[in-house]
């Protein structure tokens, strides 16, 4: 950046003395570096300040002396040409170097004056335009402020409720804690009942699907002499070997006891798992599967089941 500023090309660009390629190069610098545009502005300001500071108003006597000398020179060197005669060999006189420099000085002063006037005119025009724009913006801001003030006043009128009206609304919507608690208890009870009914419905659907399966083989287990009124059903799926038991008609198991299903396979009892007797929840329950079985029996064992059946507590039994 220092090389660009110190090259002197910016000053020539301002004075219009650069070539086309140099002008293009400066314009590219202006687009690429904001510092270049700032430096150009500073140079222009410095030139204008210098022109204003060193501008000299010529004295009236200088103007008179220059005009007198021009007049004397013209009179001494004047040639009278008779009307209708043209002397092709007439002598031509040149203007002295002094007058050339004087004319050049006047021309330079004229150019400087035009530059200064043009600069001040542009600044005046820009300031006038900015002032007009500012006035328009202020007018628009005032209109916007007035509109916003009117809207705020309208909003205040719309939301300006009296204390008495707010108190009435509060009394209307004020449910007591006791009422809310009763409503919650009622809702909880309804929810629990719906959940229970859902479980019952699911159990019934499961029972129906097992009993109506075309591969289901129902086997009734009748009561033994130990419990002649006991009854249970076995549903054996012939295609999969799955076993389901319906303990609905078994007596309620005493505390610490639990029913256990046994399958007789190759003349040996094999446990099919313990049975839940919680009424109202599960009816038909899936037990351990067997590839084949010769008979089924249910005994009453301690909670959790036993590795071997208690033959004295056999409640139901049946062969397949």
Domains annotated on the chain, with CATH: 202-319 (2.60.40)
Q: What is the pLDDT of residue 231?
A: 93
pLDDT confidence bin for 56, thresholds 50/70/90? low
> Rounded to an integer, what distance in angstroms lies between the CA atom of residue 152 and that of residue 157?
9
> Rounded to an integer, what distance in angstroms lies between the CA atom of residue 225 and that of residue 287?
25
Is the predicted pLDDT of residue 85 greater than 60, yes or no? no
Could you tell me which residue, 122 or 99, shows the higher pLDDT?
122
User: Any idea which of 18-22, 39-43, 64-68 has the lowest mean pLDDT?
Assistant: 64-68
pLDDT confidence bin for 144, thresholds 50/70/90? confident
Q: How many residues can be counted in the chain?
A: 320
Is the predicted pLDDT of residue 260 greater than 80, yes or no? yes
Is the predicted pLDDT of residue 210 greater than 80, yes or no? no
pTM recorded for the entire structure = 0.41
Pairing of the two strands 285-287 and 268-275: unpaired
Q: What is the pLDDT of residue 17?
A: 80
Could you tell me which residue, 244 or 126, shows the higher pLDDT?
244
Query: What are the Cα distances from residue 67, in Å, to 55, 60, 71, 72, 110?
Result: 22, 11, 6, 9, 18
Q: What is the pLDDT of residue 98?
A: 53
Q: Cβ distance 284 to 310 under 8 Å?
A: no
């Amino acid at each position: 950046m220092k090389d660009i500023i110190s090259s002197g090309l910016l000053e020539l660009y301002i004075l219009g003395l650069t070539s086309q390629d140099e002008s293009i190069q400066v314009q590219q610098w202006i687009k690429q570096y904001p510092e270049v545009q700032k430096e150009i502005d500073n140079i222009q300001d410095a030139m204008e300040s210098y022109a204003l500071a060193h501008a000299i108003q010529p004295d009236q006597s200088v103007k008179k002396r220059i005009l007198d000398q021009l007049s004397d020179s013209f009179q001494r060197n004047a040639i009278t040409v008779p009307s209708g005669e043209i002397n092709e060999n007439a002598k031509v006189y040149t203007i002295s170097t002094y007058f050339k420099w004087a004319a050049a000085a006047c021309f330079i002063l004229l150019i400087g004056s035009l530059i200064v006037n043009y600069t001040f005119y542009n600044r005046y025009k820009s300031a006038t335009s900015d002032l007009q724009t500012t006035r328009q913006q202020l007018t628009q801001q005032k209109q916007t402020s007035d509109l916003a003030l009117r809207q705020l006043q309208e909003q205040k009128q719309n939301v300006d409720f009296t204390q008495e009206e707010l108190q009435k609304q509060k009394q209307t919507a004020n449910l007591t804690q006791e009422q809310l608690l009763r409503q919650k208890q009622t809702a909880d009870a309804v929810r629990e009942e719906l959940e229970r009914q859902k479980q019952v419905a699911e159990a019934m659907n499961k029972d129906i699907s097992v009993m109506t399966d075309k591969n289901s083989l129902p086997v009734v287990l009748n009561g033994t002499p130990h419990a002649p009124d006991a009854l249970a059903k076995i549903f054996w799926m012939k295609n999969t070997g799955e076993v389901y038991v319906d303990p609905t008609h078994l007596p309620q198991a005493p505390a610490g006891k639990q029913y256990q299903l046994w399958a007789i396979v190759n003349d040996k009892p094999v446990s099919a798992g313990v049975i839940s007797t919680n009424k109202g929840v599960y009816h038909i329950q899936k037990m351990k599967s067997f590839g084949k079985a010769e008979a089924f029996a249910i005994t009453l064992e301690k909670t959790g089941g036993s590795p071997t059946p208690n033959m004295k507590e056999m409640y139901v039994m049946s062969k397949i």
